């Protein structure tokens, strides 16, 4: 029987952090040494308990309620053009750098299918000044309608909703919405999925 391995090597073996040759040698030794097997089990159990405890600290950074998200189709996104893509790249980098200029706690979405959710009651949008209805008749479709009527019936209680532009066709089950500040002081919201990919973007009201 091969000689027993020190605790540190067994610990590294559990994390697959030994050189390949050593990984095999430890595995072969464990097959024939109950004492080292027992020690490995102890180390593994403790390691997973400790990681679980450390993970409790991670949970605290995202205790806020879900933000509903509606993702647009890829077609819509293409229409937004390459400029928006550049904005996104800038945002993704900036998100790591912005410090206190973004909200202290990112808002986390609970698992849900993005396409089925309406953009109701988004706190960040509600807090922004609603766009004045008078500005809208400038748009082509509005010009066809009787403009005076629109002025008579203003709708200040309904803030303008900005939809997110989906950056790919995959459904967004869960993600973190981060507010980023761009170089020119405009702000945008980016949805990052758990793997860190940017999945959707919208510019914040008024830009």
Tallying the residues shown for the chain, one arrives at: 207
Nearer to another protein, 100 or 149 (CB): 100
Give me the least distance between CB of 45 and another protein, in Å please. 10
Nearer to another protein, 6 or 34 (CB): 6
Nearer to another protein, 26 or 84 (CB): 26
Give me the least distance between CB of 37 and another protein, in Å please. 16
Helix (H) or strand (E) holding 25: helix 20-32
**181 CB neighbour count, 10 Å cutoff:** 18
Give me the least distance between CB of 19 and another protein, in Å please. 10
Binding residues vs another protein (CB under 8 A): 6-13, 15, 17-18, 43, 46-47, 49-51, 53-61, 63, 65, 96-101, 104-105
The Cα angle at residue 76 between residues 74 and 80, in degrees rounded to 5: 110
Nearer to another protein, 80 or 98 (CB): 98
State the Cα–Cα distance between residues 199 and 165, nearest whole angstrom.
8
State the Cα–Cα distance between residues 123 and 23, nearest whole angstrom.
52
- Adjacency order of strands within the sheet including 165-166: 107-108, 176-181, 187-192, 198-203, 165-166
Give me the least distance between CB of 8 and another protein, in Å please. 3
Give me the least distance between CB of 130 and another protein, in Å please. 25
Nearer to another protein, 181 or 205 (CB): 181
DSSP code string of 81-102: -HHHHHHHHHHHHHHTT-GGGS
């Amino acid at each position: 029987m091969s000689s027993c391995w020190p605790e540190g090597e067994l610990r590294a073996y559990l994390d697959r952090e030994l050189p390949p040759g050593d990984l095999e040698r430890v595995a072969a030794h464990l097959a024939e040494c109950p004492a080292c097997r027992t020690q490995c089990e102890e180390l593994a159990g403790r390691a997973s308990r400790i990681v679980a405890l450390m993970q409790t600290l991670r949970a605290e950074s995202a205790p806020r309620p879900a933000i509903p998200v509606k993702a647009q189709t890829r077609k819509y996104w293409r229409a937004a053009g390459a400029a928006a893509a550049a904005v996104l790249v800038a945002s993704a980098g900036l998100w790591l750098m912005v410090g206190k200029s973004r909200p202290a706690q990112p808002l986390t979405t609970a698992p849900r299918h993005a396409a089925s959710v309406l953009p109701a009651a988004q706190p960040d949008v509600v807090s922004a000044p609603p766009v004045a209805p008078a500005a809208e008749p400038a748009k082509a479709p509005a010009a066809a309608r009787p403009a005076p009527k629109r002025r008579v019936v203003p709708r200040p209680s309904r803030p303008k909703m900005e939809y997110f532009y989906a950056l790919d066709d995959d459904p967004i089950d869960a993600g973190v919405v981060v507010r980023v500040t761009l170089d020119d002081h405009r702000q945008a919201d980016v949805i990052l999925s758990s793997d860190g990919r940017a999945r959707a973007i919208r510019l914040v009201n008024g830009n």
